[in-house]
Amino acid sequence: MTAHGAVETPAFMPVGTAGAVKGITPQQLKETGADIVLANTYHLLLRPGVDVVEKLGGLHKFMAWNYPILTDSGGYQIFSLSPLSKVSDNGVEFASHIDGAKISLNAESVINAQNRLGADIITCLDQCAPFPVGTDELKKAVQRTIFWARRAKQAHSNPKQLLFGIVQGGINLQLRTYCALELVKSGFDGYAIGGLSVGEGHDNMIRSVTHTTGLLPPDKPRYLMGVGTPADIIAAVRAGVDMFDCVLPTRNGRNAFAFTENGPLRLRNNTHINAAEPIEAGCDCYCCRNFNRGTIRHFFNSEEMLGPILVSLHNLRFYQRLMAKIRECLKRNEFADWAAKQIRKYETFGSLKNDKINSANSS
């Protein structure tokens, strides 16, 4: 339960990096079945700034979303914008990717910003190491993550917000153990698993996730950051994960890539010129109820903005339907058999396992 309502888990959070899910209104987003969305502290700090969000009524009013919101800490940007950043135990210094302005973040300032933004769930500043990476560098990232988490908990000043610590350690199970146990000692409202989906591959990721979830309190939410494909999500739920976020539904939707139960569709292909069927038979999304593949292909090839919007809506609904099916199977104690079959099916599609799918953690 959060200050803006309950979140049924396992849950998928659409990504609204700068306060909006690209091309999607909040009403449309709610109609896809989303209970919670993610926004990015780093990007909101740069534009429009915390002061502006506060003056405009706080993050929920700013986003016109009166439901739960999670803000990530900006730690991923230490990784993704590494050529523009300098990291030390004190924090991180950025050269803004927008105008080059110098920005400094530390454990306390990140928490203060999130306290002021007003998200329901906030996260500690962490350091996500690249893959592959040397053991010494990975150890430093883990030690900083723990150090910053302790400072973040001390700085946290809004009791209405849940604070999640983030477990780092790459695919090094010993470092994952160390980081997880140290964070559990400090005690957080939930625990995120970071530093994955950065090139280590599905098997390494699931091995690391399975190991890590076993170290975390079963009565606290466990959140796998930036993941992922349908097969990744099902395998991670099987490993004990409760929460997910990823840009795949919208980023791929904007590139005419649709997720379906029968495999991916690339809607720019000539095979769809005269296709009168919807993206997916039986899908109840706005796109599938009103448009056919041929029309959608035309929108993309004519550079009509409706094309990316429609496929994004379908993909968002596909992910929420997937999560609803997972929850149903769990309630019926049918998840294990269903999951094994689904993962085998998705693996045969290939492209649902990162064939030209961009899974970078931004919207």
Residues 6+ apart with CB under 8 A from 309: 23, 24
What is the C-alpha separation between 37 and 15, in angstroms, rounded? 6
Which pair of structure tokens corresponds to residue 222? 């466990």
Evaluate whether 197 touches 130 at the Cβ level (below 8 Å).
no
Q: Which of 35, 120, 242, 245 is catalytic?
A: 245
- Point out the catalytic residue in the list 35, 72, 126, 242: 72
DSSP class per residue in 41-55: HHHHHHTT-HHHHHH
Residue 49 to residue 113: CA distance in whole angstroms: 9
Residue 260: closest CA among 237, 287, 295, 236: 287
Let me know if 89 is a catalytic residue: no
Q: Are 85 and 112 a contacting pair, CB within 8 Å?
A: no
The verdict on whether 72 is a catalytic residue reads yes
* CB-CB contact of 124 with 146 (8 Å): no
What distance in Å separates the CA atoms of residue 18 and residue 136, rounded to the nearest whole number? 34
Catalytic residue numbers read: 72, 245
